[in-house]
Structures are given as C-alpha cells and as structure tokens.
Amino acid sequence: MSTPNTPGTPGTPQETAVLFDLDGTLLDTPGAIVSVLDKVLAESGRPVPSPERVRATVGRPLAAVFAELLELEQEHGEVERSVARFRELFREDVVPGARSLIFPGVPELLERLRAQGLALAIVTSKIRPSALELLEPAGLVHHFDAVVCHGMAPRGKPHPDLALLAARELGREPGDCVVVGDAVDDMRMAGAAGMRALGVAYGVATAGQLTSAGAESVSESVLALGEALGSLRSSAAITHRS
C-alpha cells in the first residue's frame, strides 16, 4: 500500500477525508457475491432463501450473513464451514476478474480526490485479507491511506467503531470525514460516528433506503458522486471562511 500523502494545514477544508465502502461502491461485486452465496447455500442442502433476501445481506460480515440465511447461530459449525467455502469460491471465481469489476470512473475519481489533497480510506465489512485480495489485483490499493476492515475494531457496521478507527488512522476528526457507501449500514455508521454520509444507488440499497438511513444525497453514478463530493467540499469551504 502507498505511503500516505502529506496532510495539509489542520482545520482547513482540504483536511476532509473520504471513507469509502468497497462492495457495491467501488467494485461491482454484489452480483458476484450473490452468485457465490447461492452456490454455498445450495451445497448446504437447506432450502435456498429468496433472491431478494440473499441480496439484502450483501455488505455484511459473512458469519452474520450465513447465520441469518441458514437460520443458525454464528458460532455453529455449519456457519463456519459456509464462510470458509464462500471465501474459497470467491477467490477462485471472482478475484481473478477484480479489475473488470471496477465501476466506470472510479480510478479517475480517486486520482482527482488525491490530487486535491484529501485523505482516503476503505471501510469494509470484509476481513483484511479478503479486501486486499480484491484491491490489489484491481489496482486500487495505492490510492488509500488506510484499509479498515471487519475485526479491526470491537464492533462492525452499523456501529461507529470502524469509521472512528479510520479517522484516527488518517489523523482526522470525525467531523472532517464523509462516508460514501451503497448500504443502509454505511449511512447508519456515518451518523453514529458523527460523520456526513453520501449514498450511491448503483449498489445494493435504493435511494429511498439510503436517504431514510441518513444520506445527505444519493448518486446514481460515479460521475454524480464526484459532483456530490465537490459540492460538499465547496459547502465546507464557505462554512470555514464564514
């Protein structure tokens, strides 16, 4: 991973940091995740839940996902085996095509944000090895000063712990950070951490769901997200000067 950029002057709008979710925000993985979930669930011999129910779990920690879909406790051996099987299949079927999963415009957006002096982090419900095995072949990892993953803080999304850890790693105050994500839990995490939240509607949750969960705005594309981030920074600059 790259060495973090040198911070700007503390207290200026340029100190704003952007905390990105990964699946469904930077990478178009939800469909692939659902496909692998379906394979693992079929192998379990249990009734396969509806497609809507399976898709609604995307972005959550795998143990919680399989516990819900298999209707078992997270500590159950079948849940643990299903998690391990999912990671095996995902590594075989999805990771080799990681670069092709990048949403159009994402590399350019990240480069532009870095050029503007913003600190960037990933905040994901994936464990760190699973996040890096996607970010590295996708060629995105060098854009980020921190990759904060499930298990690195006491509680995961929607609790604030991961977002607050990312802020600390970036040397930012929570109020200087904005969370960008495609899931309701991303928006709730931002609110709980005292951060602003921008939603993207090209992932899992709908615009209405994201707005209800606290998104200040919801973008339908990466291009629109860039514009929303620009507007947010312009507003911060006006507030700072006043």
Given the residues 23, 145, 185, 186, select the one marked as catalytic: 23
Under DSSP, the state recorded for 168 is H
Active site residue 23: yes
* CA–CA distance, 181 with 35 (Å, rounded to integer): 21
* CA–CA distance, 91 with 82 (Å, rounded to integer): 14
* 58: number of Cβ within 10 Å: 22
Active site residue 182: no
173-227-240 Cα angle (round to 5): 40
* CA–CA distance, 208 with 191 (Å, rounded to integer): 17
Given the residues 21, 176, 185, 186, select the one marked as catalytic: 21
Radius of gyration of the chain (CA): 18
Active site residues: 21, 23
